[in-house]
């Protein structure tokens, strides 16, 4: 079956903004054996959108619209779908009540009058509840075609698609079993990973292997399709172990969990704790560790020591050491980690010091120089890195190196 | 004038790849006063592409196609445009010679036979030379419409657009100047902003006002077009001051700078400093402040106090206070801010304590409850918030509230 995705919103036609919802949706649809054959981005123009909807439904069985479900006049998706399908819209009091309640409870105010527009539903549509926002989604199935109206913010769209659309799609689609394996690898260049595993994966067309690269993070997807789960699993079992053998302990996750989650799971399993001492990352390492729900089980706390004085006063790094070696040195990283571990009483402490740029580089420590310290039951160690990219990337990569260093200690 | 952009290539319909050419092209076109009204991504399907081209030319004067100009059967753009416009394709020996030469010189080999396909040009088209690749572009102007065929790789597309298409477009387009105003507002719901300013902006079609909403952050764009810069400025001056009068000090930026940058600029101008004490945000506030290059001028450091013990040991929050009021209380936020300010010697200190969720909520402090503390030369104050959304959103909004609170003190 074929699908098309239409992202609605004039902001997606500016040079600054990109539609990213369609990447998530494509991934989800592909996993169901559905191919995405076209993606369209249109502005807040009802007539044009209605025309695009009609054209898409001539060609494809599944049409997903994201965005344009807000309360303002600019939010044209409901009207355009109604026009394209020749359906009426009906006001649903219970949706209006839910939106009103949300305003009272979460936003501490009365619902603005314009939000009533969000309570209109096309005749024959199923309402898809939105626990993360005011705009409910809609599911319309007729004549062997399915049209979905989903909100634009990813934080609303994704949970709704997962909870409401996936089960409905599975009922509609022909039975096809897809089984996947998933590996994540930290701090290896995409081309290195590819060179290592290409001799394996290029020999197979089923499963399909895809490589997704983000900052300091590689995701490998192996996806096998078959009529039965057993056969799909068998296909995966032919390829996945070969890739695992090549990458070994560089694989930090086999289920998609991010690095900070894996580190947290290992700490919890060992009933150990961690603290941080951050200079150039300024809180990003703590932020990542505590982005995991329940991280208070193992995160003690940390120190943002952005100046030499703070390194000395808060962590006890000696002034003489900073004078002799500077703050961007193995010696400073070592003392920072040791100081954080002592002051918080944690099992482990990670420290980060470096030059994130764009200014501040020296010949001895050019921009991108970052030193990670790790203090634990068996002493203190450091690792020096020369990280590529701009300030934001250097900082992100630094936290990735630090987390992976800890992960490897927690085997 | 209106433009549409079609990116051709099945690889752009995978979950891994995104069309980015259109962002560059949109920026270039907007600067010429051309609005991009739709963007389409289609696979290597000639019939579908031809249909999309015909549909686009009904609506828009300018159509840019990127990609699909390669030598293989999958490269369907030339054929699809010929089909849609009802034109023949003619073999150009001099293009073939240039490709052959490129193979000999750059790729040190003979030109594969299939590359001859790249030497076909639509009748009436102007050939756009490609110094950075084998596929030449094409420019077709007729009936007041312009169609451009550009290569897909950005390293070939951009130089070609700049050198070949821009000068041609400038000859075709009416002289037009665009001037913009830009406002950012923190911590107001989109619908509230819209209700406040709609009475103003709906009275004008030039400038056009657009509202862009992100987590706790609203961006307003006003864009005026005219034949002269003076007239465009005059049009803006009619509307912008009215919007500024309504939103007043809620506007934190008039040039697009993010909130953490504005706060930093004000601190630097006053030669003041800030520190943080973070519980539920776990470093995110420090991370945002230090994401700004040069923030070491005003950021002293901070404390990630994720446990009660850390709040007591690192910041001196009394155990009795935490027992009586809990860590999520105005009292705790106050002492955290006071402690951070004293221990770092900063002019200001911000504290954040709350329940980011998903667990940990109580009746007195449900998930989303966040208390911000601010300590400064004139004492300590707190602000209690009930923030919507999941863990990530609650944390992001909490930092947004904290930064805006400080901004308002730095007038």
The pLDDT tens digits for B35-60 are: 999 999 999 889 999 999 999 999 89
For the cut 80, the answer to whether the pLDDT of residue A108 exceeds it is no
SS3 B88: coil
Q: Are B40 and B4 in contact (CB under 8 A)?
A: yes
Question: Does residue B189 share a domain with residue B88?
Answer: no
CB of B109 within 8 Å of a chain A CB? The answer is no
Q: Report CA B174 to chain centroid distance, whole Å.
A: 28
Q: For residue B173, how many other CB atoms are within 10 A of its CB? A: 16
Distance from CA of A52 to the nearest CA of B (A): 9
Q: How far apart are CA A399 and CA A280, in angstroms?
A: 10
Structure tokens at B149: 């065929």
Confidence of residue A25 (pLDDT cuts 50, 70, 90): very high
Q: Which 3 state secondary structure label does DSSP give B244?
A: helix
Check whether residue B328 and residue B395 sit in a common domain: yes
Q: Bridge-partner residues for B122, per DSSP?
A: B89
pLDDT tens digits for B225-279? Answer: 888 889 999 999 999 999 999 999 999 999 889 999 999 999 999 999 999 999 9
A interface test, pick of B7, B27, B214, B282 with most A CB neighbours within 10 Å: B282
Confidence (pLDDT) at A266: 97
Contact between B77 and B89 (Cβ < 8 Å): no
Q: Give the gap in angstroms from C-alpha B39 to the nearest C-alpha of chain A.
A: 5
Q: Which of B48, B296, B300 sits opposite A38 (nearest CB)?
A: B48
**Chain A residues touching B398 at Cβ < 8 A:** none
| Residue among A16, A48, A286 minimizing CB distance to B38 | A48
- Tens digits of residue pLDDT in B197-235: 999 999 998 998 888 888 899 999 898 988 888 999 999
Distance in angstroms between the alpha carbons of the first and the last residue of chain A: 45
Judge: B290–A276 Cβ closer than 8 Å, yes or no: no
- Number of Cβ within 10 Å of residue B163's Cβ equals 12
The mean pLDDT of B8-31, rounded to a whole number, is: 89
A344: which chain B residues are within 8 Å (Cβ-Cβ)?
A: 310, 314
Mean per-residue pLDDT over chain A, rounded: 93
Give the mean model confidence (pLDDT) for residues B279-306. 97
- Give the residue, A283 or B364, on which the prediction is more confident: A283
Query: CA B275, CA A181: separation in Å to the nearest integer?
Result: 44
Interface of B with A in 110-129 (CB under 8 A): none
Contact B194 A72 (CB under 8 A): yes
What are the C-alpha distances in Å from B112 to residues B75, B116, B134, B351?
15, 8, 12, 66
Distances (CA, A) of B266 to B185, B188, B284, B340, B383: 17, 22, 20, 20, 21
The model's confidence at residue A32, banded by pLDDT at 50, 70 and 90, is confident
Q: Which of B172, B190, B217 is the last residue of a domain?
A: B172
Tokens of A21: 């919802």
Looking at per-residue confidence, does B174 or B313 come out higher?
B313
Mean pLDDT value of segment B150-178 = 91
What ipTM was reported for this prediction?
0.76
Cα–Cα distance, A298 to B408 (Å, whole number): 36
Chain A contact for B61 (CB, 8 A cutoff): no
Instruction: Write the CATH number for A320.
Output: 3.90.950.20
Question: Could you give the angle at the alpha carbon of B359 between the alpha carbons of B358 and B360, nearest 5°?
Answer: 130
At residue B106, does pLDDT exceed 80?
A: no
For residues A53 and A32, what is the distance between their CA atoms, to the nearest angstrom?
Answer: 22
What pLDDT, in 10s, does the model give residues A327-366? 999 999 999 999 999 999 999 999 999 999 999 999 989 9
What token pair was written down for B311? 């709040």
Interchain CB contact of A18 with B (< 8 Å): yes
Q: Which two tokens stand for residue A200?
A: 């394996």
**Averaged pLDDT, A153-177:** 91
Q: Measure CA A166 to chain center.
A: 19
The two structure tokens encoding residue A2: 């074929």
Average pLDDT over residues A240-268: 96
| Domain match, A130 and A227 both | no
Token couple for A362: 């020296």
Least confidently predicted of A178-187, B325-334, B347-356: A178-187
Shared domain for A13 and A145, answered yes or no, is yes
Of B326, B316, B321, which Cα lies nearest the Cα of B354?
A: B326
CB contact under 8 A, B343 and A313: yes
To the nearest whole Å, the CA of A266 is away from the closest chain B CA by: 19
Residue B58 sits in the same domain as residue B166: yes
Domain termination residue (choose one: B157, B172, B187): B172
- Same structural domain for residues B148 and B38? yes
Hey, are the CB atoms on A395 and B291 less than 8 Å from each other? Answer: yes
Is residue A107 scored above 80 in pLDDT?
no
Question: Does the distance separating the beta carbons of B13 and A38 come in below 8 Å?
Answer: yes
CB contact under 8 A, B40 and A38: yes
Helix (H, G, I), strand (E, B) or coil at B112: coil
Residue B297 confidence class, pLDDT cut points 50, 70, 90: very high
In the DSSP assignment, the letter for residue B301 is E
Parallel/antiparallel/unpaired status of strands A120-122 and B62-66: unpaired
Residues 211-240 of chain B with CB under 8 A from chain A are 211-212
Distance, in angstroms, between B91 CA and closest chain A CA? 31
A268 and A155 in one domain?
no
A278 contacts B286? CB cut-off 8 A: yes
Inter-chain touch A13–B27, beta carbons under 8 Å: no
- Please answer yes or no on whether B210 and A40 come within 8 Å at the CB atom: no
Residue B111 DSSP label: P
Percentage with pLDDT > 90 across chain B? 76
E strand or H helix at B104: helix B93-105
Run of H or E including B170? helix B166-172
CB B38 within 8 A of CB A41: yes
Q: Which residues of A touch B290 (CB under 8 A)?
A: 280-283, 304, 306
- Output the furthest CA–CA distance in chain B (Å, rounded): 89
**Residue numbers of B between 88 and 107 with CB closer than 8 Å to A:** none
Task: Count structural domains, chain B.
Answer: 3
User: Does residue B278 sit in the same domain as residue B167?
Assistant: no
Final residue of a structural domain among B189, B218, B253 = B253
Report the CATH number that the domain containing residue B230 is assigned in CATH: 3.30.70.2860
Kindly state the average pLDDT of the residues A53-70: 94
Q: Å from A150 to nearest chain B CA?
A: 17
Q: Which residue in the set B15, B313, B386 is minimally distant from A26, CB to CB?
A: B15
Q: Do A391 and B295 touch (CB under 8 A)?
A: no
Same domain as B9, residue B149: yes
Which tokens in the block code for residue A164?
């409401």
The per-residue pLDDT for B107 is: 65
- Are B397 and B187 in contact by the 8 Å Cβ rule? The answer is yes
Which chain A residues contact residue B303 at CB under 8 A?
301-304, 314
3-state secondary structure chain A: CEEEEEEECHHHHCCCCCCCHHHHHHHHHHHCCCEEEEEEEECCCHHHHHHHHHHHHHHCCEEEEECCCCCCCCCCHHHHHHHHHCCCEEECHHHHHHHHHHHHHHCCCCCCHHHHHHHEEECCCEEECCCCCCCCEEEEEECCEEEEEECCCHHHHHHHHHHHHHHHHHHHCCCCEEEEEEEEEECCCHHHHHHHHHHHHCCCCCCEEEEEEECCEEEEEEEEEECCHHHHHHHHHHHHHHHHHHHHHHEEECCCCCHHHHHHHHHHHCCCCEEEEECCCCCHHHHHHHCCCCHHHCEEEEEEECCHHHHHHHHCCCHHHHHHHCCCCHHHHHHHHHHHHHHHCCCEEEEEEECCCCCCCCCCCCCCEEEEEEEECCEEEEEEEECCCCHHHHHHHHHHHHHHHHHHHCC
Pair of tokens at residue B1: 């004038």
Nearest by Cα to A314 from B100, B354, B314, B173: B314
- The answer on B157 and B28 residing in a single domain is yes
CA distance linking residue B115 with residue B106, whole number of Å: 15
Closest Cβ opposite residue B30 in set A15, A282, A391: A15
pLDDT > 70? residue B82: yes
Q: Name chain A contacts of B285, Cβ cutoff 8 Å.
A: 283
- Look up the CATH number of the domain holding residue B116: 3.40.980.10
pLDDT > 90 fraction of chain A, expressed in percent and rounded: 76
What pLDDT is stored for residue B144 in this prediction? Answer: 87
Hey, are the CB atoms on B212 and A302 less than 8 Å from each other?
no
Does B256 contact chain A (CB < 8 Å)?
Answer: no
Question: Looking at residues A293-320, what average pLDDT do you find?
Answer: 96
- Cα-only R_g, chain B: 29
B283 and B227, same domain (yes or no):
no
Of residues A212 and A129, more confidently modeled: A129
Which one has a higher pLDDT value, A151 or A191?
Answer: A151
A342 contacts in chain B (CB < 8 Å): none
Half-sphere exposure for B187 (CA within 13 Å, toward CB): 21
pLDDT score of B32 more than 80? yes
What residues make up the domain containing B399? 259-409
CB contact under 8 A, A295 and B282: yes
Q: Provide the pLDDT for residue B256.
A: 86
Q: What percent of chain B has pLDDT over 70?
A: 100
Gap between the Cα atoms of B234 and A376, Å rounded: 65
CB-defined contacts A:B, below 8 A: 237
Among chain B residues, CA nearest to A18: B23
Round to the nearest angstrom and report the end-to-end CA distance of chain B: 43
Same domain, A275 and A386: yes
């Amino acid at each position: 079956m074929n699908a098309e995705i239409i992202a609605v919103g004039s902001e997606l036609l500016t040079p600054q903004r990109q539609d990213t919802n369609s990447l998530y949706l494509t991934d989800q649809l592909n996993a169901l054996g559905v191919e995405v054959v076209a993606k369209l981005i249109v502005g807040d123009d009802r007539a044009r959108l209605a025309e695009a909807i009609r054209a898409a439904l001539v060609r494809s069985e599944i049409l997903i619209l994201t965005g344009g479900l807000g309360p303002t006049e600019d939010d044209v998706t409901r009207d355009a779908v109604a026009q394209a399908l020749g359906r009426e819209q009906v006001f649903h009091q219970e949706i209006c009540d839910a939106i009103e309640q949300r305003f009272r409870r979460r936003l501490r105010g009365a619902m603005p009058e314009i939000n009533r527009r969000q309570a209109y539903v096309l005749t024959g549509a199923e309402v898809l509840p939105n626990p993360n926002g005011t705009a409910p989604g809609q599911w319309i199935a007729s004549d062997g075609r399915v049209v979905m109206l989903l909100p634009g913010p990813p934080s609303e769209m994704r949970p709704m698609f997962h909870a409401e659309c996936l089960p409905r799609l599975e009922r509609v689609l022909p039975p096809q079993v897809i089984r996947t394996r998933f590996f994540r690898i930290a701090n290896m260049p995409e081309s290195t990973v590819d060179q290592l595993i290409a001799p394996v994966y290029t020999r197979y067309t089923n499963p399909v292997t895809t490589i997704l690269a983000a900052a300091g993070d590689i995701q490998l997807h192996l996806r096998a399709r078959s009529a039965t789960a057993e056969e799909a699993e068998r296909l995966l079992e032919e390829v996945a172990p070969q890739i695992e053998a090549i990458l070994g302990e560089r694989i930090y996750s086999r289920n998609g969990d991010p690095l900070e989650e894996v580190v947290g799971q290992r700490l919890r399993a060992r009933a150990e704790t961690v603290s941080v001492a951050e200079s150039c990352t300024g809180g990003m390492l703590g932020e990542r560790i505590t982005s995991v729900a329940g991280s208070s089980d193992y995160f003690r706390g940390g120190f943002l020591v952005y100046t030499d004085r703070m390194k000395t006063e808060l962590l006890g790094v000696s002034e003489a050491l900073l004078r002799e070696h500077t703050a961007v040195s193995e010696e400073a990283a070592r003392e920072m980690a040791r100081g954080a571990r002592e002051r918080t009483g944690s099992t482990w402490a990670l420290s980060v010091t470096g030059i994130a740029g764009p200014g501040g580089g020296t010949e001895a420590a050019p921009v991108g120089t970052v030193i990670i310290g790790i203090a634990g039951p068996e002493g203190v160690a450091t690792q020096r890195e020369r990280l590529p990219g701009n300030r934001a990337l250097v900082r992100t990569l630094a936290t990735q190196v630090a987390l992976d260093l800890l992960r490897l200690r927690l085997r």
